[in-house]
Structure 1
């Protein structure tokens, strides 16, 4: 019987790593040996090594859409990474490679292609990121998160799967969440998520509106590292965290509605949990605009309400949240009709297909 082995890759941000972890339990159940290729100092190394997954280090230059003096040296790092990845894959002989994108993934995808190993790539955002654009000609299939994304994938390689969600996120307890926060009344709960680093714009708007919001809501505020407000430390009905890990499923289960950025991972988590949400996407001035496209898609599908970052103010935030809460049942009904909730099974089936 053929030994099943998968090499995973993806890095540069937590969003390019954590969806890989959502696949790991099912892969282990199926008997796959799991390894990972990443960079020496990337965020992926710490996350993967904590999971006790064998980790290989390669070189990789950053892929930039803007001028930087490093644009002249980094292609040589990418080339070196391709050679290193090719040698690792030749030695380890995986049956399949799965890539979540990010600049580290490009040498791995090309290295797998040179070894004639099937490659499945996953793209979270509406339009492919630069790394996945470069990788596409070398891969076997490209899993996409949004129906609108299929038109960007050439060669009949695209397949709609949604984005994989960690199983434990779906197993939270509403009661445990309320107890963790010490909320002992029956007010509905708003949870605020500003992305892995937090969002000053969202933090400031929520805190400015706090007194008015607390008339109706209790608030869980994940504000990002270094963004705690000591003056609000003991405020009743409001709890703030820099970052949450083990308790996150319970806190999310306890919340009735959400304020969030519009990264693909978090909005598909909210979709899987049937949680009505108000999205405030990262401005196009500070990104390539993918969060705006993500949020527009979710608004169009009836899963989310939307405020553009440039339009965010105290009054609009309060009014939109009240509107969202009053119409929450309709948003839940819309979310229940989604056809892209079980991405883990869809992707696992692809991995199995191309492992033979």
Structure 2
């Protein structure tokens, strides 16, 4: 293939960016040049800078499912973003465009469609987002994480590929070394890893704080609190709060006896790949309900437990953690179910389709 350039697009949250990295790494190994089209101020701009990729900004407007005056003003931003995308894609002249979803991806995919350049999209959640459903009409293939997701796409069923979710290769390596500073903190005790996401989870932080005395009797607790919610002074014996975990996360998950976390799609697949028994507290307020459905899917498969709303108290959380920790047969069953769930690497599936186009 003469054209070795690919445009990626997506953003708004880390979940619309991070799963693209394993795909990008595979393509770079095959000699492809990767560019990214995102927003002027979104989280994707920071992440892509860390990956040392070419980044191009466009105007964006949010795609809302409810009435808001901003729906009218954002139309003009979306139109501006479309014309900017057309100009950029003409200039870059990629072999194809790959979308990871989020409202910023729609102008880029539409521009590719208008320019008769092939495009592809991937969605990580059980219920594909609105941007993915719009892009689906214009793509060559749409990659979905779950078989259950297919029913939410109203047309072009022949374009759908069930690929799973891409996960960084480090998470598949059960021999990855943990820095000695972390090994000293673990001190040979059972490890409870608490993950609130990059921005943290206030609800989880408050619940954990009320349980700490009892939790630290049984576990070494490593708690990702989020950059904005981080409290260094909270550190105490057997309790280690951190603002964010990145490079050390795969090794910590491999070592963890239990994980307590939200139910973002990326986190759930990282738990599955590392075969880590999990307790999920899905985000319920201020979301479209995707985490609730994500959690239900993995719970039904016997891979994790859900802390239900009626049990959303310190005592309810502590009871569920201790129930899972003390039930060795349940944890072994979860490990086996995780192993059976991840039977292929999503990035291999996706790249095999992309290379057909190249």
Same fold by TM (over 0.5)? yes
1:252 alignment partner, SS class: helix
2:205, 2:45 → 1: CA distance? 29
- CA apart distance, 1:230: 4.7
Count of residues in correspondence between the two structures? 353
Question: After TM superposition, which residue ranges in structure 1, 4 or more long, deviate above 4 angstroms?
Answer: 172-175
Taking structure 1 as the reference length, the TM-score comes to 0.94
- CA apart distance, 1:92: 1.7
The 10-residue stretch of structure 1 (301-310 or 13-22) with the greater mean CA deviation from structure 2: 301-310
The 10-residue stretch of structure 1 (120-129 or 59-68) with the greater mean CA deviation from structure 2: 59-68
- CA apart distance, 1:169: 3.4
Taking structure 2 as the reference length, the TM-score comes to 0.93
**Which residue matches 2:170?**
168
Cα deviation digits, residues 46-93 of structure 1 (max 9, x gap): 111222211112111111223332211111111111111122212222
**Which residue matches 2:124?**
124
Cα deviation digits, residues 14-56 of structure 1 (max 9, x gap): 1111111121221111111111111111111111122221111
**Which residue matches 1:221?**
223
5+ long unaligned stretches in structure 1: none
Cα deviation digits, residues 99-132 of structure 1 (max 9, x gap): 0001100000101111111111111111111111
Contact 1:161–1:340, Cα closer than 8 Å, also in 2: no
1:288 alignment partner, SS class: coil
Q: CA RMSD in A?
A: 1.8
Q: What is the aligned counterpart of 1:351 among 330, 349, 354?
A: 354
- CA apart distance, 1:170: 3.3
1:231, 1:43 → 2: CA distance? 28
- CA apart distance, 1:226: 2.9
**Which residue matches 1:198?**
200
**Which residue matches 1:15?**
15
1:224, 1:184 → 2: CA distance? 21
The 10-residue stretch of structure 1 (255-264 or 18-27) with the greater mean CA deviation from structure 2: 18-27
**1:182 is aligned to 2:213:** no
2:151, 2:261 → 1: CA distance? 27
**Which residue matches 1:269?**
270
Cα deviation digits, residues 140-193 of structure 1 (max 9, x gap): 111111220012222122111111111133346576267416335332101001
**Which residue matches 2:24?**
24
Contact 1:181–1:239, Cα closer than 8 Å, also in 2: no
- CA apart distance, 1:257: 1.1
5+ long unaligned stretches in structure 2: none
Within 5 A, what are the aligned runs for 1:205-216?
A: 205-216=207-218
Contact 2:223–2:239, Cα closer than 8 Å, also in 1: yes
**1:330 is aligned to 2:333:** yes
The 10-residue stretch of structure 1 (99-108 or 78-87) with the greater mean CA deviation from structure 2: 78-87
